[in-house]
Amino acid sequence: MTQVKEVVSALDHIAPPQFAESYDNPGLLCGNPESEVSGVVCCLDCTEAVVAEAIEKNCNLIVAHHPIIFKGIKSLTGSNYVERTIIAAIKNDISIYAIHTNIDSILEGGVSQRSGSELGLENMKVLSPKKEQVRLELTVLEMRVEDAQRLAVKLTGKAFDRILDVETVDGPRKWMQWSGRSDLSGLLASALKTEGMKAGKTPLFEYSSDVGLGVIGQLSVPLPEKEFLSMLKSRLGGSLIRHTPLLGKSVHKVALCGGSGASLLSQAKRAGADAFVTGDFKYHEFFDAEDDLLIADVGHYESEQWTIPLLKDWISEKFSTFAVHCTTVVTNPVNYF
């Protein structure tokens, strides 16, 4: 039989947790990693309805794209849907695993590439590669965290992303993670050692050019803007698309980012995209297009919907001792009238 931790390990191997953004919370969020897997439900959002579906289908593992636990939880009283979902999962011995911006950050088989393929994009490359970024991970033994933070901000203009309490062979210590440009990480590492910091380990994790958010690709045949928008609506199954004014030119080169991708607009421009497809653009952010390209806000859920069958395919290919299901629950909280 297959244990939960084996499924977790397989997914972590495909989309390593270190690829996730610093604010994210992927991984096994609740449940016993030693439990034998009876079945899996794949979804975008783990909700009470999805937990109920897992119970009905005799599945004790839910693999979700969005982490149900994203911010700190100080109590479990059932006062909101997050707490009620976690309580229901724990009561029914259901594990919840999230694979979020780490799966967003891989090119081959990732969320944006899958979405791009569904929209007919070819020759896709990473839109915002992390190849110039590194992560410095260290366990502080003899330096105060406040001093390390002060030094990081002074030298790099950026504080440590994460600080956690950990147990080491030398007792409780602080584990710290900083991510940024490789030249700055080297400067910071040297300065910390000069200041008398000792570290249990100081690995420098370097990203390849195939790691990063979003994709840039081409349509096999350029489309007039209205035809392009019609194609998006048809393939995405949405009821509307919010977009910037039409520019009167064809769409050939397309940038795409599943989920909330407004922060990648400048990268889409630099890549020479005719259109940028994503979700969650705010009112004033539409002005930033400045007639350089067409922004098509197709909706967060709509831009990531193919993540569900993608996860099912991944798990089904690696394991045959249990059934894997795509959720039948539409968890999109946004409705249009």
State the Cα–Cα distance between residues 329 and 43, nearest whole angstrom.
8
As assigned by CATH, the class of the 111-127+213-303 domain is: alpha beta
Query: What number is the average pLDDT over the span 23-47?
Result: 96
Phi-psi region of 290 (alpha: psi -120 to 50; beta: other; left: phi over 0): left
- Looking at the chain, the domain(s) classified CATH 3.30.70.260 span 133-206
Predicted local distance difference test score (pLDDT) of residue 166: 67
State the Cα–Cα distance between residues 93 and 82, nearest whole angstrom.
17
Average pLDDT score, the chain: 90
Rounded to the nearest angstrom, the gap between the alpha carbon of residue 230 and the centroid of all alpha carbons in its chain is: 28
What strands, in cross-sheet order, belong to the sheet with 204-206? 162-168, 171-181, 133-140, 204-206
Residue 202 binned pLDDT confidence (cut-offs 50, 70, 90): very low
Amino acid at 106: I
3-state secondary structure (DSSP) of residue 82: helix
The strand ranges marked E within the chain are: 27-30, 39-45, 61-66, 95-98, 121-129, 133-140, 162-168, 171-181, 204-206, 212-224, 242-243, 250-260, 275-279, 294-297, 323-326
Q: Identify the burial level of 307 via C-beta atoms within 10 angstroms of its C-beta, where 0-12 means exposed, 13-18 middle and 19 or more buried.
A: buried
Of the candidates 242, 234, 288, 266, the residue with the CA atom closest to the CA atom of residue 118: 234
Q: Tell the residue number behind the tokens 């096999």, with chain if given.
A: 220
3-state secondary structure (DSSP) of residue 148: helix
Of the candidates 55, 54, 107, 52, the residue with the CA atom closest to the CA atom of residue 81: 52
| pLDDT over 50 (residue 200) | no
Predicted local distance difference test score (pLDDT) of residue 41: 98
Predicted local distance difference test score (pLDDT) of residue 250: 98
In angstroms, the Cα distances linking 157 to 17, 48, 183, 189, 196 are 25, 42, 13, 14, 21
The CATH fold of domain 133-206: Alpha-Beta Plaits (3.30.70)
Cβ(182)–Cβ(206) below 8 Å = yes
- Looking at the chain, the domain(s) classified CATH 3.40.1390.30 span 4-100+306-326, 111-127+213-303
CATH 3.40.1390.30 correct for 4-100+306-326: yes
Query: What number is the average pLDDT over the span 192-214?
Result: 67
Predicted local distance difference test score (pLDDT) of residue 152: 85
Query: What number is the average pLDDT over the span 242-246?
Result: 98
Predicted local distance difference test score (pLDDT) of residue 187: 82
Tell me the percentage of the chain whose pLDDT exceeds 70.
Answer: 90
Residue 133 binned pLDDT confidence (cut-offs 50, 70, 90): low
pLDDT tens readout for residues 145-167: 788 888 888 888 888 877 777 66
State the Cα–Cα distance between residues 247 and 238, nearest whole angstrom.
23
Tell me the percentage of the chain whose pLDDT exceeds 90.
Answer: 69
Predicted local distance difference test score (pLDDT) of residue 185: 75
